[in-house]
Structure 1
Amino acid sequence: MHLPDEAAAHALGVRLAAVLRPGDVVALSGPLGAGKTSIARGVLAALGLEGEAPSPSFAIVQPYDPPEVRFSVLHVDLYRIEDPEEVRELGLDEVLDEAALLVEWPERLGDDPWPDALWLTLAFDDAGGRRLTARVPGAWESRWPLT
């Protein structure tokens, strides 16, 4: 899929929000500036967040709960994580029954910690914009591709 600009990445997030539900993990992978946060912001806006969601680069986890959004979502940025063991302390797996996770830089965890995650990888396209590829597990097959 080609995303010509930031607005297209945001729009993809809006479409993703329509099929997202508690218990889902969306892994957002790609280099700095590729559009991971734009997709997450689109999801959060479509779920009801007013204003722009801050990047959780320094907080690592930015929670959003009703009534701010339709259901609980954790926006996670693992860029500053140096050891995958540090993530266990965040307690992300404990909230999966009631929240969705939007995880930037999931590759910092090494082995695939969430085999049912929708894995979206962004890359800079030589023609401009971004190129998005998706790894779609069984849990997402009826919801992907987005319409």
Structure 2
Amino acid sequence: MYRLTVTEEQMSALGKQLAEALMAGEGAIVYLDGTLGMGKTTLSQAVVHGCGWSGRVKSPTYTLVEPYDCGALQVVHFDLYRLADPEELEFIGIRDYLQPHTAWLVEWPERGAGVLPEADVVIHFTEAGAARQLTVEPRTERGRLVSDRLQHVWEHE
């Protein structure tokens, strides 16, 4: 586990670096944990663009899920803020997204407890003045690989 302090401007760069780490690791399930306005969606949008998506990246606040086929990696962005019941995830076909070479970015994962698969990596967002402190917590071997790649790139920037 390690911590990064990230300004708003650095969040996009971090997202691109996370995209590279996810592509190198052939995907992972990433939980994005934090309150409103912490930068979870900004980071997610930067990851999608960093994986090669050139179109608009929509926030899935109302649709719950937005998939992006980025060639070598599919990125699936979940925003569960408006999820009324975790069982709703079964109705939207959550299991269909459990594919090789797929990265999940899950905002508000606690709202899908009991239905969501376990995270490979959890990124906790907290306020740090004008910046954000991100705590990167790997939970699986795949998560450790992604976390290590991200930490290595970030430390050498």
Tell me the TM-score normalised to structure 2 length. 0.81
Q: Which has the higher strand share?
A: 2
* 1:51, distance to aligned residue in structure 2 (A): 4.2
* 1:116, distance to aligned residue in structure 2 (A): 4.0
Deviations 1:3-54 (A, max 9, x none): 122x211111101111214551111111111000111111111111124411
When the two structures are aligned, how many residues end up with a matched partner?
Answer: 143
Does residue 83 of structure 1 match 2:85? yes
Deviations 1:67-113 (A, max 9, x none): xx542221111000021111122222232224221111111123583
Does residue 9 of structure 1 match 2:11? yes
Q: Which residue of 1 aligns with 2:31?
A: 27
Q: Which residue of 2 aligns with 1:64?
A: 68
Rate the CA distance shift 1:16–1:36 in 2: closer, same or farther, 3 A.
same
Tell me the TM-score normalised to structure 1 length. 0.86
Residue pair 1:56, 1:77 contacting (<8 A) in 2 also: yes
Return 5+ residue gaps in structure 1 as ranges: none
SS where residue 146 of structure 2 aligns? coil
Q: Where do 4+ consecutive residues of structure 1 move more than 3 Å?
A: none
Cα distance between partner residues in 2 of 1:129 and 1:112: 32
Rate the CA distance shift 1:143–1:63 in 2: closer, same or farther, 3 A.
closer
Q: CA RMSD in A?
A: 1.9
Return 5+ residue gaps in structure 2 as ranges: none
Q: Percent identity?
A: 34
Deviations 1:102-127 (A, max 9, x none): 111111123583324211111111x3
Q: Which has the higher helix share?
A: 2
Q: Which residue of 2 aligns with 1:124?
A: 127
Residue pair 1:24, 1:96 contacting (<8 A) in 2 also: no
